[in-house]
Structure 1
Amino acid sequence: MNSKRSGIMKNFKIYIIGLLTIFGSLSGCDEGFDELNTNKVDPTTLTPSFLMNNAIINTSFQDGFGTLVHLSYTFPIVQQIVTPFGSSLSGGNYNQNNVDNTARIWTTYYRTVVRDIVDVIQKTQGVEASSNTYHAARIWKAYVFQMLTDTYGDVPYFEAGKGFSEEIISPKYDSQEAIYKDILKELDEASAALDAAKTADPTDILYGGNVIKWKRFGYSLMLRAAMRLTKADPTLAQTYVAKAVAGGVMQANADNAATRHTALYVNWLADHLGAREKANYYLAAPFVDYLKTTNDPRLKAIAVRYVGAKSGSEQVIARATTDPSQQIGMPMGYDNVSIAQTFPTLGVASLWDFSQVNINTVLNRTAAPTYHVTHAQTQLLLAEAAVRGWVTGDPATYFTNGVTANLEQFAEYGANAAIPSADIQAYVQAHPLDVSTTEKSLEQINTQYWVASFLNGSELFANFRRSGYPALAPNPYPGREITEEAFIRRLNYPDTELVVNQANVNEALTRQGPNKLDVRVWWDKK
C-alpha cells in the first residue's frame, strides 16, 4: 500500500513538473510575439508621395470606364467627338440623361482622387520636410475640385474626403461661389509657399519634383479659375488674374501639366477608343469642318478615316488615310439608323466611314500624354484678359503665342504628329487676331481655345459654357430631354447621392435649382 502510494506521488510530481515546463515554454514564446505576427509585406499606411502620384494618375480615369463621362457628354456637347449609338453610350449625342455616365467623374474622383489628395494634405500639413509636397497637393486638390464643381455645380468640398479621418460619411454640399473663392485662395497661398530651396519629391509623377514648374502650374491654374468668373464676379476675376500674372504663369510647353503615360498606367481614353469603343466614336462635323475650312495643320495629326468601310471590321490599315482633304466629320443630331439619310450627300459608304481620332498619334495608349493645363491655354486666356484690359501686353501677341504653342505641342505625340515649323508659321500668319471689335476677338480666342483643348473634356465643356464660343448650332436630335436651354449646362448628381446623402443634396438643389441637365451653375451667367 505504501509502495503504491509512493509510486502515485512520484508520477504526480513528474506531471506537475511537466506542466510547469510547458507553461514556462509558452511564457517564453511571448517574447517577440508582436514582431513575429506583424505582416511586413502588406502596408498599414501609405507614404504621401505614393498617394500623391496615385491621385494624379487616377485623375485621368485609370478605372477605364470613367472616360465615358467625356465620350458620352463633354466631347459631344462641344461637338468634337460623337457617337450615333445609344443605350450605354447615350448622353450628349441625344441630349439625354444617362445616369451611369453622368456619374462617372463623381464616382471616380470622390472614391479615389479626392480621398488620396485629402490624405496627402492631412499627412504633410505642418511637416517641414514635406512642405513642398503639402503645397503641391493643395494645388492638385484645387484642380480636381474645379472640375467637380464645374461639372455638377454645388458639391461636397470642405467636408469631402474626410470619411476615415473624421467619420464624415454624409458631407455637406457647398455653394459653387464658396468653393471657387476657396480654390482661388488655396492656389494663391500654395503657389506662393512653394520653395525651390526646400526638399522636393523626385518621385513626383507630374514634374519630378521641379518646384518652379509646380509654381507655374499653380499660377496658371489660378488664371484659369479666375477667368471662369468673368460673368459671375468680374472684380474678383480681375484681382486674381493680376495675382497669377505677378506670380508667374507657364513660360513654354516644357511647363505643361501633363500625365506622361507608360505601359504601367496607360492613356485610358486611348485604350477605350483603340479597343472596346473603336468603331463607336467619330470626329464631329463642326470640328472637322472648322479645321478643314481654316487649313489647320493639326487635322492631319488628329484624324484618320477608313475610306469605304461598311462595318467596324473593315476599319483596317489598308483603308486608312490622314489626308485632311479626305476627312469627313459625323453630323450632329442622328442615331445609328437615321444617319443613313446623310450618306449620299456626304459621300460615305456607312457610319463606319466617317473620320475618327487617330489612335496612333494623339491617342496612342502609352505615348500620348493627357494634358491638364498647358502653356497654349494659358497664353490664350491671357489674350482674353488683355482684351478685357485686365493685364498689360498686346492681345494679338498672346494669341499668336498660344496658337503657336499648341501647334508645337503636337510634337509631344510623336514624330508622326509633329507639325513642321514652316506649316506652323504659315498657319499663324494666315490667322492673326481680329481686333476690329471686342466680340470678334473674344470669339476667335475662345474658338482657338476649343481647338487647343482637344481631348481635355472638362475644360472644353466649362470654357464653352463660360465664353459661349465657338458659335455652335444646337444639337438637333429630336429626343432631347433639355427644354430650357439649347445646350446641356451641367451633369446630374448620381442617383446614389439622392439615396445616401439626400438631405444635403436637397439643400443644394434648393439653392441651385432642379437636378437637371439644363440648369446653369453659379458662374454660368447668360
Structure 2
Amino acid sequence: MKITYKYLIVLLIFFSACDNGFDELNTNETDATNIDPIFQLNDAIINTSFPGSVLVYDMGIVQQIITPNSGVITGANFNQDNRNSTEAMWVNYYREVILNTRDIIRRVEGEPERNNLYQMTRILQAYAFMLLTDSYGDVPYFEAGKAFSDQVFLPTYDTQQEIYPEIIDELSAATAALDANGKVEGADILYGGDVEKWKKFGSALLLRAGMRLSKVDPSRAAEVVQAAVQSGVITDNDDNAYIRHDANYVNGVGRTLNATEANNYYLAAPFVDYLKNNNDPRLRSIAVTYVGAASGPEQVPGPDGNGSNDPEIQIGMPMGNNDETAKQVAAELGLASFYEFAQADRSRVVKQTAPMFLVTASQSQLLMAEAAERGWISGDAASYFEQGIRAHMEQMATYDEDSAIPGEEIDTYVAANPLQGANALEQINTQYWVSSFLNGPEAFANFRRSGYPELDPNPFPNQDISGDFIRRLTYPSSELAVNTAKIQEAISRQGADNLETRVWWDVD
C-alpha cells in the first residue's frame, strides 16, 4: 500500500484531534480514590464477628452446641477433620481483618493527629492475631498482611512462642499511648472513639493474653496480669467489646441457625445438665424446646408455635451420636424425635441481629478471680467470682429483652454458689465456660488452658484423633497448596497438621 505525504498529514491531524481531552474522558470523577482509614478499621471490626463455622468445631469441642448430622457440618461432632470449616476463621481474619489493620498502620503511623486511630488499630490487630494463633498454633505474623505494601505473597510462619510476646508488647504499648486529649475518632463503630473504653479493651485483652501463659510461663503470666489489672480492664457491661448486628449485617451464627442448619444444631447435654442441675436461670434465657416436634418443619417458633423456654423440660443432646443413633437416644428419653432436644433459641440469643461478644466484663472478672486465687493480684477472689457471674447474667438482656434475668434470681444463684477454696479453679473456669457461651474461640482456648470444665471425651467411633479432645484447628488447604514450603516448615517444627497437635501454651 502506497501512503502519500498528503495522506500521512491527514492521519496525524486526525489522531491528534482524537487525543484532545483523552485524560479527562478517562478520569472517574465519582469513585473515591482514597478512603479515611477509620472506615477500614470499621470494616476490620465488623469482620471480627465469628462466622457460622464456630458451630462446627469450637462450640462442639467444648460441648455446648452439637449436631448429629454429617456432610458439610462434620467436625467436632465426630472429632473428624473438615478443612472447609477449619479454614473459615483463617480466611476471614487474614483477608478482612489483618489486611485492613496492616494497611491502616502503614498509612497513619507517624501522623500525630491520627495517633488514637493508630493505637486502636494495633489493639484490634493484636486481638485478631491472638485468636488466630490460639486456634491454629504457628501462623504468619511478622509478614502477614504485607502483600500490597511489601509484595510478600508467601509469608513465613512464626512460632506461637515468638508471637505471644509481640501481642503482649503491642497491647501494652498501644493501650498506654491512647490519648484522651487527641483526636476523637467518632466514626469508630466499636466504641465511638471513646479512648477510655479502648484502653479497657486493650487491658482486658492483655489480661487474657497473660492468663494464656499460666502453665507454660507462670512468672511471666503473673507480671502481665498484674500490669493489665493496674491499667484497668473491662469490669462493667457498658464497656463490653461486642459486634452489633442488624438486618443488613447479620450475626454469622444467627444466619446459620436461622437458615439451612436451623434444625441441625442442638444444645449439648453436658452444657444443659450443668445449668439445669445448678438451677441456673441462664438456661431459661438461652434454651428452647419445640415440644412434640417429630421433624424440622414441626419446630415452629413464635408466639403461636410449640417452643417452650421452661428449664424443667430442656434436655440436651448427648455427645457421640449421628442422625441414626440420635433417634434411638431420643426415643429412650421419651422424646418424639431428636428434633425435640433443646436448642439455642434462634428468636433470642441466636437471632440474626443478636450481638457477638468478643471480650466482656464477666470474662475479665473471672480471670481476675483466678489470678487472685493464684496470688498474682490483690483483691478477693470470691468477690471477683461473684461479679463475674452477675455480669454475665445481666449481659443476657443485651441479646433480647426476653432473655433478661430478674435481679432476685441472680441474687439467689450467687448466694447458692459461693467460691470454695478447694475447688476454686474448677468453679471459676467452669463459670468462664458458661460466660463464654456463643464465643466459641474463647471457650475453646480457655478449656485447653485451664482443663475446665471437666468433660468426658466425645465417645463417637471412627475419630481422627487418638487423644481425648481436639487441641487445634487444621491449616487451610489453600495454604498447603500455595504456601507449601513455608507451611511445611511450620509443620515440621510444631507437629503434624492434625486436630490433636497442641499449641505452645497448651501443656499438660
TM range (shorter): over 0.9
Shift of 1:250: 1.2
Q: Provide structure 2 residue ranges, at least 5 long, that are not aligned to the other structure.
A: none
Q: Distance in 2 between matches of 1:258 and 1:18?
A: 69
1:402 paired with 2:388, answer yes
Quote the offset at 1:319 in angstroms. Answer: 1.5
1:248 equivalent in alignment to 2:232 = yes
Larger Rg: 1
How far apart, in 2, do the equivalents of 1:200 and 1:178 lie? 33
Equivalence for 1:334 = 321
Structure 1 residue 155 corresponds to structure 2 residue 144: no
Quick one: which of 411, 417, 424 aligns to 1:441? Answer: 424
Give 2:253's aligned residue.
269
Aligned positions of 1:392-471 closer than 5 A: 392-435=378-421, 437=422, 440-471=423-454
Partner of 2:503: 521
Report 1:42-61 matches (<5 A): 42-61=31-50
Paired AA for residue 168 in structure 2: L
Partner residue of 2:105? 121
Name 1:504's counterpart in structure 2: 486
Give unmatched runs, 5+ long, in structure 1.
Answer: 1-11
Counterpart CA distance in 2 for 1:350 and 1:154 is 43
The percentage of counterpart residues that share the same residue type is 53
For 1:385, which of 345, 352, 371 is the aligned residue? 371
8 A contact 2:272–2:314 mirrored in 1: yes
Distance in 2 of aligned mates of 1:150 and 1:55 = 19
Structure 1 residues 352 and 185 mapped into 2: Cα distance closer, same or farther (>3 Å)? same
State which of 86, 98, 105 in structure 1 corresponds to 2:82.
Answer: 98
Please give the root-mean-square deviation of Cα atoms over the aligned residues, in Å: 1.8
- CA–CA separation in structure 1 for the residues paired with 2:313 and 2:281: 14
Aligned to 1:369: 355
Matched position secondary structure for 1:133: helix
Q: Distance in 2 between matches of 1:494 and 1:172?
A: 15
Report deviation, 1:22. 6.5
My pick for the range that moved more, 35-44 or 250-259, is 35-44
Distance 1:34 1:292, change over 3 A: same
Out of 472, 487, 490, the residue aligned to residue 455 of structure 2 is 472
Instruction: Output the amino acid matched with 1:203.
Output: A
State the Cα distance separating 1:266 from its structure 2 match: 1.2
Task: Please give the alpha-carbon distance, in whole angstroms, between the structure 2 residues aligned to 1:482 and 1:255.
Answer: 40
| Cα displacement (A) at 1:35 | 4.2
Aligned equivalents of 2:445, 2:319: Cα separation in 1:
20
Query: Using a 3 Å threshold, how does the CA distance of structure 1 residues 35 and 77 change in structure 2: closer, same or farther?
Result: same
Structure 2 CA distance, aligned partners of 1:224 and 1:188? 12
Secondary structure, in 3 states, of the residue corresponding to 1:100?
helix
| 1:319 matches 2:302 | no
Inter-partner Cα distance in structure 1 for 2:185 and 2:316: 45
Structure 1 segments, 4+ long, off by >4 Å, are 15-27
Match of 1:346 in 2: 333
Cα distance in 2 for partners of 1:46, 1:499 equals 34
2:289 aligned counterpart, secondary structure: strand
Deviation track 1:114-140 (CA, whole Å, cap 9, x = no partner) reads: 111111111111111111011000000
In the superposition, relative to structure 1, how do residues 166 and 290 fare at CA in structure 2: closer, same or farther (>3 Å)? same
Other-structure match for 1:78: 62
Which string of whole-angstrom CA distances, capped at 9 and with x for unpartnered residues, describes residues 136-191 of structure 1? 00000010111100010000001000011101011000000111010000000000
2:52–2:255 Cα contact (<8 Å) kept: no
Equivalent of 2:180 in 171, 190, 196: 196
Query: For 2:403, what is the secondary structure of its paired residue?
Result: coil
**Displacement of 1:18 after TM fit?**
9.1
Paired residue type of 1:127: E
SS at match of 1:97: coil
| Residue number in structure 2 paired with 1:220 | 204
Aligned-partner Cα distance in 1 for 2:177–2:266: 44
Q: Say if 1:52 and 1:338 are closer, same or farther in 2 by CA, change over 3 A.
A: same
Note the C-alpha offset of 1:17. 11
Q: TM-score, normalised by structure 1?
A: 0.92
Counterpart residue number, 1:8: none
Amino acid at match of 1:327: Q
1:42 shift after superposition: 2.8
Q: Does the residue aligned with 2:348 lie in a helix, a strand or coil?
A: coil
1:307 aligns with 2:291: yes
Query: d(CA) in 2 for partners of 1:101 and 1:402?
Result: 32
Tell me how far 1:21 sits from its aligned partner. Answer: 8.3
- Corresponding residue for 1:491? 473
Counterpart-to-counterpart distance in 2, 1:460 and 1:56: 20
Residue equivalent to 2:73: 89
3-state SS of paired residue (2:424): helix
CA shift at 1:414, angstroms?
A: 2.3
Counterpart CA distance in 1 for 2:176 and 2:438 is 30
Contact (CA 8 Å) 2:331, 2:337: kept in 1 or not? no
User: What are the Cα deviations for residues 293-342 of structure 1, in whole angstroms up to 9, with x where unaligned?
Assistant: 01011111100010111110000143110000010100000100112221
Partner of 1:5 in structure 2? none
CA distance in 2, matches of 1:319, 1:446: 35
Match of 1:358 in 2: 345
Q: Relative to structure 1, is the Cα distance of residues 17 and 330 closer, same or farther in structure 2, using a 3 angstrom cutoff?
A: closer
Q: SS of 1:305's equivalent?
A: strand
1:258-297 → structure 2 map (5 Å cutoff):
258-297=242-281
Q: Classify 1:35/1:452 alpha carbon distance in 2 versus 1 (closer, same or farther; 3 Å).
A: same
**Alignment match, 1:239:** 223
Against the structure 1 CA distance between its residues 23 and 514, is the aligned structure 2 distance closer, same or farther, given a 3 Å change threshold? closer
Distance 1:19 1:507 in 2: 62
Name the counterpart of 1:4. none
What is the total number of aligned residue pairs between the two structures?
501
Whole-angstrom distance in 1 between the partners of 2:234 and 2:172: 15
Q: Give the Cα–Cα distance (whole angstroms) in 2 for the partners of residues 473 and 375 of structure 1.
A: 29
